[in-house]
Amino acid sequence: MRAVVTGGAGFIGSHLCERLLAAGHAVVCVDNFLTSSVKNVEHLTDHSRFRLECRDITQGLDVSGPVDAVFHLASPASPVDYLRLPLETMRVGSAGTWNALDLAATKDARFLLSSTSESYGDPQVHPQTESYWGHVNPVGPRSVYDEAKRFSEALTMAYRRHRGVDAKIVRIFNTFGPRMRPDDGRVIPTFIRQALAGAPITVTGDGSQTRSLCYVDDLVDGLTRMLDSDHGGPVNLGNPHEVSVLELARWIIELTGSSSEITLIPRPEDDPERRRPDITAAGELLGWKPTTPVEQGLRDTITDFRSRLNLVDRAKLVHQPATPAPGVVAVS
């Protein structure tokens, strides 16, 4: 098959592109590099079945030739990014999703929306099932991401019901692994970066809030299984292994052998108290469940961070936005 992956140079998108190529498919990776990096896919640019296009999908998405599948992953995804880019986040969740769905409709392609556990907001039901409608503050600072994704879900279902697009929705819970940006603001890259630098580990609140952590290889397996299924979703994809943020900080200190100490700082507004997916539907419909132990995933992620971070100059752990490399097709 020939697949289009929007946001394909991002953390999850780059791993999905790799998986699709390994399975023998052709991939058109579309990204504007607003929060991603060309370095994530530069090892793929010489592949005969890989095409990288620098494009803002909110301005349109026209891909020449046949398209069998559209994986829509494009969006700022970390709080640091979507709070810095609120209008861009809402635009890609609305106009970007619309254009991606139009491409799928025009090409008679399957469509997969990567939605998020943020659709549940700060949930009052635990664990979260797909039938739960959520507890979202529509005017809070996080709403630019939460509501953009909720709109994307509604639009996807409208295209499925009224235009006959074979459209599917997955809700992705906390995912981690190699290629995460050290400064992206999410809990695992933040803690690993701080631990490797010997800096204080900044835990928000008292650290009792929980997260459920899924390794990226398992998540990508769930995405491909969902695309190949006959189910529209939404389907939760995540690891039910729940851990408190304070426990996670201690765990990362131990795995890195760091001398860092834990410092408590104020919690962000609307920060979810508990997060754990009910993955019964994924098991029954897709035959899917995560198989990578969280500790093994953390070890692999720490190894990746050690190889990328300049630990000699620890004060300069600042992300520099990537520019398209040679071979990237720039599309106006």
116 three-class SS:
strand
> Which CA distances in Å does 329 have to 4, 28, 30, 103, 326?
14, 11, 9, 19, 9
Beta strands in the chain (DSSP E): 2-6, 26-31, 50-54, 69-72, 110-116, 167-172, 175-176, 201-204, 210-212, 214-215, 235-237, 242-244, 262-265, 329-330
Whole-number pLDDT of residue 136 = 85
What is the structure's pLDDT at 310? 65
pLDDT score, position 328: 42
Report the relative pairing of strands 2-6 and 26-31 from DSSP bridges: parallel
Question: 3-state class of 60 per DSSP?
Answer: coil
Instruction: From the candidates 82, 120, 145, 215, give the one annotated as an active-site residue.
Output: 145
Reply yes or no on whether 145 is catalytic.
Answer: yes
Residue 318: band (very low, low, confident or very high) from pLDDT cuts 50, 70, 90: very low
Give pTM, 2 decimals.
0.89
17 pLDDT tier (thresholds 50, 70, 90): very high
Please provide the CATH number assigned to the domain covering 2-330.
3.40.50.720
Burial 19-46 (b: 16+ CB within 10 A, else e): bbbeeebbbbbbbbbbbbbbebbbebbe
Radius of gyration of the chain (CA): 19
Residue 4 near residue 25, CB atoms below 8 Å: no
